[in-house]
Amino acid sequence: MPISSPGLGSGLDVTGIVSQLMAVEQQPLVRLNEKEAQAQAEISAYGSLKGGMSALQSALASLKDADNFQSTKATASDADILTASSDENAVKSSYSVTVNRLAQQHKIGSDEFSSAATFGGASGDELTVTVGTESFTLDLSTALTLSEIQSAINVDTNETGVTAGLITGDSGNQTLVFTSSASGYDNRVQLSFGGAVNASTFNFSMLNRDESNVLLASEAELDASLTIDGVSATRSGNTISDVVTGLTLNLKSTGSSTVSISSDPSVAKNAMDAFVKAFNTLKDQLTSLSASGASGSVLRNVDSQLRGVLNTSLVGLGSYSYISELGITTNADTGKMEFNSEMFNTALADNPNSVMNFFADDDEGFGARFDLMIEGFISSGGTLDTMIQSGNTRINDYERSRDSLERRLENIEARYLRQFGALDTLMASLTTTSDYLASQLDILANLATGNNN
């Protein structure tokens, strides 16, 4: 019968012996775990590298955008009158702008009525509000108070944009006010009526006033009015972008201001700054990954191709062939980019089209070439995806091998326990026999001593 506690019968440390033997047997599993940990580390490194290269590609997008090298900026001499902005389509120039009138949202108000007064109540009674092409009809066949009309107008189904408000004056009576959501004559509030309800039922009139607090003479004055270099223009809003190509005016008050449009090199410079920063961050990442033991061949390949694009001559795009001619050089010790913004701005001022073509030409430009190189690494099925997929395949293989090894180790441990359990039982039996024989020999020795006496 096997003993229930190994070593109990013989004093043999069966558990300790089996544990030591299993430590030897488990070495293949230890090595397998180490390989899996290395594969996990490589997958993490490739994922991190892919993220760094994606960030560089995002920064590169601004250098591929030709508009960033043609940017302009607009300034107004009096920002209390208006502010201005411009885009790449604006021509460098200046304009004298006089704001004669600001655009307003149309407001109309009814006569004053008691809060208990009702309107309508007969079949066919209705009020229709129209703005542009949108209309909303309020059924007044059941008589409603001004408060009830207000609630009925301010519903989601009213797509005219008109809102209704109530003003209670000193008399305690109420005025119903309709306000258009958009400014200008074309967005004025128009009313029509049905049944016994007509214009005199509410007697709505315009409430809009000018800067001198004088009622507008007509609804046409809801439009903004301005003069640019003597040319008159009216528009429905106070943000005007269709009078001068590429120029947007934000009207704030009546008065005059001079608007100047000039080149804005800061947009291209900021794009270059962002690219240099992303490039240098990637270089730090390559150094860190190399120190962590990531695959040196992949890292060297990335680094080599980065340097290759930087050192490639671009011909036929203008006055510049190398990026170093535009103020971007590489530090010989660190491999990082260094950016001379003054040199870059000078080149942009002297030869804006050449700088734009160097970076933003769709086929041969620096941006297109650099982007193509990055895509080879980070695109779906690219180099880094292939390395990550290979790592995952190895991990799956390791997991299958681990399952097999763990089952084998369980069987080995069970066999060792059986074998040493049997040895323990045998040794315990031999110990018992030895003790019995020793006691018998003692008896015989005592008998022999007694006979001699």
Instruction: Single out the residue of 108, 130, 113 nearest to residue 209, CA to CA.
Output: 108
Please give the residue that has the higher pLDDT: either 382 or 4. 382
Q: Read off the pLDDT of residues 96-106 as tens digits, 9 standing for 90 and up.
A: 999 999 999 99
Instruction: Single out the residue of 166, 178, 177 nearest to residue 114, CA to CA.
Output: 166
Asked if 355 and 347 count as a contact pair (C-beta separation under 8 A), the reply is: yes
Quick one: pLDDT at residue 200? 97
Cα–Cα–Cα angle for 419, 421, 422, rounded to 5 degrees: 65
Coil, strand or helix at 306: helix
Q: What is the mean predicted confidence (pLDDT) over 103-111? A: 98
Q: What is the mean predicted confidence (pLDDT) over 439-443? A: 75
Coil, strand or helix at 333: coil
Q: What is the mean predicted confidence (pLDDT) over 156-182? A: 97
Q: Read off the pLDDT of residues 125-159 as tens digits, 9 standing for 90 and up.
A: 999 999 999 999 999 999 999 999 999 999 999 99
CA 340 – CA 323 distance, rounded (Å): 11
Reading the block at residue 410, the tokens are 């369980």
Reading the block at residue 348, the tokens are 């942009």
Using a pLDDT cut of 90, give the percent of the chain over it: 62
Q: Read off the pLDDT of residues 12-69 as tens digits, 9 standing for 90 and up.
A: 777 787 788 777 877 877 787 777 777 777 777 788 888 889 999 999 999 999 999 9
Residue matched to tokens 């008589």: 143
Asked if 60 and 370 count as a contact pair (C-beta separation under 8 A), the reply is: yes
214 burial type by CB count under 10 A (0-12 exposed, 13-18 middle, 19+ buried): exposed
Cα–Cα–Cα angle for 176, 180, 186, rounded to 5 degrees: 130
Asked if pLDDT for residue 397 goes beyond 80, the answer is: no
Q: Read off the pLDDT of residues 307-346 as tens digits, 9 standing for 90 and up.
A: 999 888 998 899 999 999 999 999 988 889 999 999 999 9
- What is the pLDDT confidence band of residue 2, given thresholds at 50, 70 and 90? very low
Q: What's the start-to-end Cα distance of the chain, in Å?
A: 46
Reading the block at residue 429, the tokens are 């039996």
- If you ran DSSP here, which 8-state letter would residue 198 be given? -
Quick one: pLDDT at residue 332? 87
CA 288 – CA 186 distance, rounded (Å): 63
447 burial type by CB count under 10 A (0-12 exposed, 13-18 middle, 19+ buried): exposed
Mean pLDDT of the chain: 89
Quick one: pLDDT at residue 47? 81
- If you ran DSSP here, which 8-state letter would residue 67 be given? G
Identity of the amino acid at 68 = N
Determine whether domain 105-221 maps to CATH 3.30.70. yes
Q: Phi then psi for 5, rounded to 5 degrees?
A: -120, 110
Quick one: pLDDT at residue 45? 79
Quick one: pLDDT at residue 4? 47
Q: What is the mean predicted confidence (pLDDT) over 360-378? A: 92
CA 190 – CA 362 distance, rounded (Å): 52
β-sheet bridge partners, residue 262:
73
Asked if pLDDT for residue 374 goes beyond 50, the answer is: yes
Quick one: pLDDT at residue 13? 76
* Domain positions in the chain: 1-71+265-428, 72-102+223-264, 105-221
Reading the block at residue 370, the tokens are 């650099």
CA 381 – CA 384 distance, rounded (Å): 8
Please give the residue that has the higher pLDDT: either 22 or 70. 70
Quick one: pLDDT at residue 450? 66
Asked if pLDDT for residue 404 goes beyond 80, the answer is: no
Inter-CA distances, 430 with 1, 184, 425, 436, Å: 15, 114, 9, 10
- What is the pLDDT confidence band of residue 290, given thresholds at 50, 70 and 90? confident
Asked if 309 and 369 count as a contact pair (C-beta separation under 8 A), the reply is: yes
CA-based torsion, 368, 374, 344, 244: positive or negative: positive
Reading the block at residue 163, the tokens are 């809102």
